[in-house]
Structure 1
Amino acid sequence: MNKKKLIVPLVIVLAVALYFVCFYKDKTLKFVPKNADVIVLIDVKKLMGQYISSFIAHPSKWSGSRTKDKKGISLKDSGIRIPDFLQIFHLKDTRFSEWYTVVELKDPQQFSAYLKSNQFISKGSDVFQKDQIFIKIVGGHGIVGTSALAFENINQMIFQSSDKNTRSADEFIHSSLGSISFISGEKIQNFSIDLKADEIEIKNTEETGNFSSVVAEAKKKKHFLDAELDAENIKKYARFFDKKLADSAQIYSLKSTADLEQVNDTIITYGYDDNFNEIEKKTYQKIIQPNYVIELQSKAPEKSWQYFQHKKWINAQNQFTAIPFQPNLIEKSNEGLIITSTKKPIPSSPKLKENYIFIANSPLLLSSLSTLTASEKRILSDLEYVFYGNKAESYWMKIKAKKGELPLILRW
């Protein structure tokens, strides 16, 4: 047979194979329960494409050697079927910290071996745990979560219910690398997620020029925390702690500034000497604590004060006990309430009259988080700041990393 006649069909076969491997995506979402109120989607093929292009563009990574643990099993040999869209969800009426995803398994026994090789501990009933990650093997699937509390409910809703809940990725994600979608009844509010060279952007609008100027002003202040929120934003954040807080306290504006400081903390204990006389022992340790000022503007300051007293958040010394960092002082004014740390008071910074939260990275913050793993500390130390901004119906969040020789996708 003429070899030239084989070239065209071979090219066609390779093109079709390339399309299905790199571009074709199954957009059917089979693993999102009906009572999910937040859905995070990650376009896995787009993520891999971005990784490969970044890897090719940075030859310095080509010769980088990887240290392999001979006892470990790689992810590609874990028995997991890699999805086109990773589906992460939060269930209605569960804690904010509870997030789940479901993965398909090519080989459940291979997946079980993978978990054991990565120091996951068996808790019985096909449930495994490592730190704050829980996994339950259900037939040919694995339910992964930051908690095990909803495993049975998820199992029933996704695998045992006759009323299957199948959705399409087109409802939530378009051309971005990922998306975060908030669901309320029939209403869906989508936010795109984009991974750039040294930042992650989450937004529902392309108009981010105004937010960039707010970031620049917040950076000039050089505080660890700088925030301003109106009544609507306060209500959104307060619901994580107390759903009735914003309405009951009648607070319509918040302005907060904070800095971190390392101080010596005295610990007093008591023991007995050889003659059974009580003796006092003092030890010292360095701790990280914030110095802060929080201004709360209220429509009715007296009612706000009474509400906080009813919640037992104000003690006899006029300390605001809902903030764990003591001591502080809460005072009432004609415009509202002000809470200040008393050890080292800091003045409030000028208002920008915007809605934003700006958190700058600090070495003191990293040293205070002793429970983090080495990889988590490395990622956190690489951050420069986190910013949230809102203007009318526009929302924008930026997670900014320090500039480096490699883009984030190759660093993290």
Structure 2
Amino acid sequence: MKKKYIFLVIVFLIAATIYALLFHKDKALKFIPNNADVVVLVDVKKVTRQYIFALITHPSEWFKSGEKNKERISIHKSGMKIPDFIQIFHLKNTQFGDWYSILELEDKTKFVQFLKQNKFIKNGEKLFHKDGIFINVEDKTCIVGTSNAAFENIRNTFLSKQETNILNADQFIKNSAGSISYISESKITNFLININSDDIEVKSSEARDNFKSLISKLDRENQFLNAELDEKNVKSGLQFFNKDLKDSLHISYFKTNAELEEVNDTIISYGYDDNFNEIEKVSYQKIIQPNFIISLQNSDPEQTWKFFQNKKWINSQNQFTAIPIQPNRIVKKEKEIIVQTTRNPLQLSQKQKENYIFIKNSKLLSSSFLQLKSNRKKLLSNIYYIFYGNKSQDYLFKIKLTKNKLPLLLRW
């Protein structure tokens, strides 16, 4: 009888430990400033469970995983506290590419050593940087960012005082590996992040398989880029990059197609012969360039044309200089403006009457990644396509990877 009780106690303790390590979560979000307008959450324990399941179902990776861990410095021993939810935020009125996260430190000395061993360069007393990542190390916290522009602001207005507005993870994320949330006054709009076997999806909670047939249709075409957007989606896209364009370009419909081509680029240089006479040297290199066509439609193209002229984006040869791919030609028609490369002119594909952007990887595109570091080149080369779609309130952003015997979480 005692053995039975001992067995039950052991089972209970194991179950309690597993629950505590992989399921129980502290949902208090303490590191999101009040002036954040976009928040990205990553459910660390859910991703960990997905990783463990993937590893269990692929025995061939068990020993390889151990070898990889020996080569790396364990993040669990870095002096940083691993949160249940990684909280990444974007601040109002800052650059689109500036993103930040605040992490707690258990041992500052160990963390600084961890950064040095991972070849982060120290710049000043507290700042470290590597490959576009900046880290400001405080005594009990560190600020991680794609820029250091807001570090002082975050320290002075957020970390230096007790934060009273503690948010809850349930406001942002439910049953997904992560979420992207847009905060507008008291309204929070959430999009789910799902990590699947060979793709990553960001979608509105209502979105199901609304885009499956469209993606299948676009995938059968061999174009590098295929896009079609209505007025609402055009304005939303322009707002991310330039608010002035959103208000000045009166575009009701946008469509584009592009294909990649390998062309010979002529390089002319000058040198001198043995008699110091100047001689011209001609060499050639192969480069990848797109052939494209863009249609901008509205009821009064004259407004858009005048805007381009005021910006001096149309030269005397009727080339659209805002796009650096030359030669091209811009033409104004009755209800649209066409911008088109002239080297190998394309025609617009059939209208799908949908809102989408579809970018398909290819060998030509992958070959242009040669100048990147090996890990980034490998990541980009393994992308099969990128898709954005919108139907009413349904949104989907999807990164599809090439087929592989390993699920996504075990590939890197």
- Mapped partners of 1:242, 1:143: distance in 2: 28
SS at match of 1:210: coil
Deviation per residue, 1:223-252 (Å, 9 max, x gap):
100000011110011123321323322111
1:313-392 aligned at under 5 Å gives the runs 313-392=313-392
- Mapped partners of 2:370, 2:402: distance in 1: 22
1:248-259 aligned at under 5 Å gives the runs 248-259=248-259
Q: What does residue 120 of structure 2 align with? A: 120
Letter in 2 for 1:400: K
Distance 1:42 1:68, change over 3 A: closer
Q: What does residue 111 of structure 1 align with? A: 111
Q: Which 10-residue stretch deviates more, 204-213 or 66-75?
A: 66-75
- Mapped partners of 2:67, 2:311: distance in 1: 54
Letter in 1 for 2:259: D
Q: What does residue 152 of structure 2 align with? A: 152
- Mapped partners of 2:4, 2:219: distance in 1: 64
- Mapped partners of 2:13, 2:214: distance in 1: 52
- Mapped partners of 1:405, 1:5: distance in 2: 44
- Mapped partners of 1:75, 1:306: distance in 2: 56
- Mapped partners of 1:241, 1:179: distance in 2: 22
- Mapped partners of 1:246, 1:71: distance in 2: 49
Q: What does residue 137 of structure 1 align with? A: 137
Is residue 2:81 matched to residue 1:81? yes
Letter in 2 for 1:291: N
Gaps of 5+ in 1: none
Letter in 2 for 1:55: L
SS at match of 2:210: helix
- Mapped partners of 1:211, 1:23: distance in 2: 32
Q: Which 10-residue stretch deviates more, 209-218 or 347-356?
A: 209-218
- Mapped partners of 2:348, 2:70: distance in 1: 55
SS at match of 1:396: strand
Q: What does residue 267 of structure 1 align with? A: 267
Q: Which 10-residue stretch deviates more, 236-245 or 105-114?
A: 236-245
Q: CA deviation at 1:131?
A: 1.3
Q: CA deviation at 1:314?
A: 1.1
1:66-77 aligned at under 5 Å gives the runs 67=67, 73-77=73-77
Distance 1:163 1:72, change over 3 A: closer
Aligned identity (percent) is 52
- Mapped partners of 2:197, 2:373: distance in 1: 24
SS at match of 1:18: helix
- Mapped partners of 1:366, 1:172: distance in 2: 36
Gaps of 5+ in 2: none
Distance 1:10 1:60, change over 3 A: closer
- Mapped partners of 1:4, 1:210: distance in 2: 53
Q: Which 10-residue stretch deviates more, 184-193 or 159-168?
A: 159-168
- Mapped partners of 1:409, 1:6: distance in 2: 37
- Mapped partners of 1:71, 1:22: distance in 2: 25
Distance 1:279 1:349, change over 3 A: same
Q: Which 10-residue stretch deviates more, 24-33 or 277-286?
A: 277-286
Deviation per residue, 1:309-356 (Å, 9 max, x gap):
111211111111111211111100001100001111111111101100
- Mapped partners of 2:185, 2:116: distance in 1: 40
Q: What does residue 95 of structure 1 align with? A: 95
Q: What does residue 183 of structure 1 align with? A: 183
Q: What does residue 308 of structure 1 align with? A: 308
Q: Which 10-residue stretch deviates more, 260-269 or 332-341?
A: 260-269
- Mapped partners of 1:54, 1:68: distance in 2: 16
- Mapped partners of 1:363, 1:30: distance in 2: 45
- Mapped partners of 2:384, 2:197: distance in 1: 14
Q: What does residue 49 of structure 2 align with? A: 49
Q: CA deviation at 1:8?
A: 4.2
Q: CA deviation at 1:157?
A: 3.0
Q: CA deviation at 1:367?
A: 2.1
Would the aligned equivalents of 1:249 and 1:298 in 2 still touch at CA under 8 Å?
no
Q: What does residue 221 of structure 1 align with? A: 221
Deviation per residue, 1:173-223 (Å, 9 max, x gap):
011111011111112110001111111111104443331111122112221
Letter in 2 for 1:199: D
1:165-180 aligned at under 5 Å gives the runs 165-180=165-180
Letter in 1 for 2:345: P
- Mapped partners of 1:383, 1:349: distance in 2: 24
SS at match of 2:64: coil
Q: CA deviation at 1:2?
A: 4.8
What's the Cα RMSD here?
2.0
- Mapped partners of 1:157, 1:52: distance in 2: 39
- Mapped partners of 2:167, 2:132: distance in 1: 29
Would the aligned equivalents of 1:387 and 1:397 in 2 still touch at CA under 8 Å?
yes
Deviation per residue, 1:145-197 (Å, 9 max, x gap):
11111111122233113454321111100111110111111121100011111
1:6-85 aligned at under 5 Å gives the runs 6-64=6-64, 67=67, 73-85=73-85
- Mapped partners of 2:235, 2:160: distance in 1: 37
- Mapped partners of 1:84, 1:69: distance in 2: 21
Q: What does residue 402 of structure 1 align with? A: 402
- Mapped partners of 1:5, 1:406: distance in 2: 42
Would the aligned equivalents of 1:71 and 1:117 in 2 still touch at CA under 8 Å?
no
